[in-house]
Amino acid sequence: MIDDFRPMELWEPETRRDPHAFYARVRAAGTPVPQYDPAGNRFWIVARHADVLAGLQHPDIGHEVHRHQEPDLSPSPYPPSETERISSRQLIALDPPDHTRLRRLVSTAFTARTVARLEDWIAGVAAELVAHVRRLGRFDAVTDLADPLPVNVIAQLVGVPDEDRARFRDWSATIVSASDYDGSATLAFAAYVDELAARRRAEPRDDLISGLVALEDGGDALDRDELVAMVQLLLIAGQETTVDVIANALRLLLTHPEQWDDLRADPSLAGAVVEETLRFRGPVEIVPPRFTFRELDLAGGTLPAFERVGLSLWGANRDPEVFSHPDVFDVHRADVAGHIAFGYGSHFCLGASLGRLEARLMLEAVARELPDLRLADGAPDDVRLHHGGVLPLQVGSPAG
Ligand code: HEM
């Protein structure tokens, strides 16, 4: 069965047009399927729900592979640059014990209560954006509606004052789009986080950065690079994901008019729309790659030591063993809670409640205020942000 796969099939244009057909074949293969990325790295793709869960929780699959290799790779003679130091401290790329320690510290400040307190504020921003696109008439749901929301929410959560918001948005646009080629945006951003942290240390407020600098957890606290890395990760992990969910939820609703009618009639369905969008077309296709730390058995096969594992959330969320009629978009489905679009286990998305809240409040506002919303000419059959994705929509008369 493995022989049926071409070595770079995952990246071929035909697979990109219909990745779910590819993952259905991987599920049926009964063993991890090797694929080579354009840089020549071999990945073992796993796509059954139960196997992806097992992979996400496996004690010998993780990120810091260099710590398990013998002999230990000799340290580089050059000290790491500041940008390298910061990116090496990001929660998402660490294993225990560092991951456990950082995650605990950050979770203390990033509680469900902190997030819930933002609800009215986020609803206000969503209402302003919706009023803005009503005035535009024809607009792009990515640029005009979805994109401005998460960066403003992170700025508010972190505690960036109004007068600094424009600078914060500029740096984050560069960092999030991975176009900070010389590292200057990361360094300017780091200097700004230092400055803000110093201000909050002197005069704490009710915001995330005050909470993070005040942490004295049995003498343990975030050091400077960890603090900068954390704020940067919130931006990177929380921006495109949330925009992707909002844009694709709107696209799916407008291409399933009876479900769009249901939402307009009852905006409290917005939460269910968000969940089904996450299952049917979540923003994360494959979780950031992990490595095997030794030879091990997974998904019906044996994986060699020190190789990349590609755990596919898209594969898991369309597994017919967990979801009935998995390829049908249905906001009323009873089994949606089984989706793992936010991952699972120790790296489960830290911003899941925030992302859900933002997407739900935006869809509620759209359903209430833009009942005449429709696809404009040229609307794509998927919104892929990495490829400059747009979603042209229209309200009011065609001339508007
Ligand atoms: C709305 C849609 C979102 C989706 C579908 C999503 C998805 C994910 C997934 C799948 C992971 C796990 C990655 C892994 O296992 O390697 C993750 C981790 C993470 N997410 Fe999200 N995310 C979303 C929004 C957000 C938001 C709004 C924030 C913060 C403001 C955020 C912050 C994080 C952080 C910090 C991690 C790393 C957690 C860790 O490594 O312990 N995410 N997210």
pLDDT at 268 over 60: yes
Q: Averaged over 34-44, what is the pLDDT? A: 95
Name which of 53-67, 183-197, 328-342 the model is least confident about.
Answer: 183-197
Q: For residue 250, give the 3-state DSSP assignment.
A: helix
pLDDT at 244 over 90: yes
Is residue 164 a part of any domain in this protein? yes
Burial classification of residue 60, based on how many CB atoms lie within 10 Å of its CB (0-12 exposed, 13-18 middle, 19 or more buried):
middle
- Ligand 1, atom 17, lies closest to the CA of 349
Which ligand 1 atom is nearest residue 354's CA?
Answer: 27
Distance from residue 343's CA to the centre of ligand 1 (Å): 8
Is residue 173 a part of any domain in this protein? yes
Q: Averaged over 270-286, what is the pLDDT? A: 97
**What are the Cα distances from residue 296, in Å, to 35, 54, 304?**
18, 12, 7
The percent of residues above 70 in pLDDT, for the chain, comes to 96
Name which of 61-70, 75-84, 276-285, 313-322 the model is least confident about.
Answer: 75-84
Is residue 360 a part of any domain in this protein? yes
pTM, to two decimals: 0.95
- The whole-number pLDDT of residue 94 equals 94
- Give residue 400's pLDDT band: very low, low, confident or very high (50, 70, 90): very low
- Ligand 1, atom 9, lies closest to the CA of 342
Distance from residue 287's CA to the centre of ligand 1 (Å): 10
Distance from residue 71's CA to the centre of ligand 1 (Å): 33
pLDDT at 12 over 60: yes
- Ligand 1, atom 31, lies closest to the CA of 351
The percent of residues above 90 in pLDDT, for the chain, comes to 70
Is residue 399 a part of any domain in this protein? no
Cα torsion through 211, 216, 218, 223, rounded to 10: 100
Q: Which residues contact 162 (CB under 8 A, 6 or more apart)?
A: none
Is residue 400 a part of any domain in this protein? no
- Please give the angle made by the CA atoms of 127, 131 and 132, to the nearest 5 degrees: 115
- The whole-number pLDDT of residue 217 equals 55
**Tens of pLDDT, residues 77-102:** 778 888 888 878 889 999 999 999 99
Q: Averaged over 173-201, what is the pLDDT? A: 86
**Tens of pLDDT, residues 130-170:** 999 999 999 999 999 999 999 999 999 999 998 998 888 88
Q: Closest Cα to residue 285, out of 310, 307, 309, 308?
A: 310
pLDDT at 121 over 70: yes
In this structure, the residues whose C-beta lies within 6 A of any atom of ligand 1 are: 91-92, 103, 154, 233-234, 237-238, 241-242, 245, 278, 282-284, 287-288, 341-343, 347, 349-351, 354-355
- The whole-number pLDDT of residue 167 equals 86
The domain tally of the chain equals: 1
Task: Count other C-beta atoms under 10 Å from residue 205's C-beta.
Answer: 12
Q: Closest Cα to residue 91, out of 105, 73, 80, 81?
A: 105
- Ligand 1, atom 41, lies closest to the CA of 347
**Tens of pLDDT, residues 331-362:** 999 999 999 999 999 999 999 999 999 999 99
Q: Closest Cα to residue 364, out of 115, 119, 116?
A: 119
Q: Closest Cα to residue 4, out of 25, 31, 30?
A: 25
Is residue 382 a part of any domain in this protein? yes
Pocket test for ligand 1, best of 349, 357, 361, 383 (most atoms within 8 A of CB): 349
Q: Averaged over 180-199, what is the pLDDT? A: 89
Q: Which residues contact 142 (CB under 8 A, 6 or more apart)?
A: 243, 247, 383, 385, 389, 390, 391
Distance from residue 286's CA to the centre of ligand 1 (Å): 12
Burial per residue of 192-202, b for 16 or more beta-carbon CB atoms within 10 angstroms, e otherwise? bbeebbebbee
pLDDT at 17 over 70: yes
**What's the one-letter identity of residue 39?**
A
- The whole-number pLDDT of residue 185 equals 86
Pocket test for ligand 1, best of 98, 241, 243 (most atoms within 8 A of CB): 241
- Give residue 73's pLDDT band: very low, low, confident or very high (50, 70, 90): low
Distance from residue 216's CA to the centre of ligand 1 (Å): 25
Is residue 17 a part of any domain in this protein? yes
Q: 353: domain CATH number?
A: 1.10.630.10
Which ligand 1 atom is nearest residue 90's CA?
Answer: 40
- Ligand 1, atom 39, lies closest to the CA of 347
Top pLDDT among 207 and 310 is at 310
- The whole-number pLDDT of residue 172 equals 80
Across-strand partners of 394? 138, 374
Boundaries of domain holding 357: 2-73+80-394
- Give residue 312's pLDDT band: very low, low, confident or very high (50, 70, 90): very high
Task: Count other C-beta atoms under 10 Å from residue 20's C-beta.
Answer: 17
Q: Please provide the average confidence, as pLDDT, over all residues in the chain.
A: 92
- The whole-number pLDDT of residue 183 equals 84
Is residue 267 a part of any domain in this protein? yes
**What are the Cα distances from residue 259, in Å, to 31, 90, 279, 357?**
37, 39, 16, 20
- The whole-number pLDDT of residue 219 equals 66
CA–CA separation, 334 and 133 (whole Å): 34
Across-strand partners of 217? 220
CA–CA separation, 265 and 259 (whole Å): 10
- Give residue 40's pLDDT band: very low, low, confident or very high (50, 70, 90): very high
Q: In what order do the strands lie in the sheet with 308-311?
A: 33-36, 42-46, 308-311, 290-292, 61-62
Q: Is the peptide bond before 326 cis (omega within 30 degrees of 0)?
A: no
End-to-end CA distance of the chain: 54
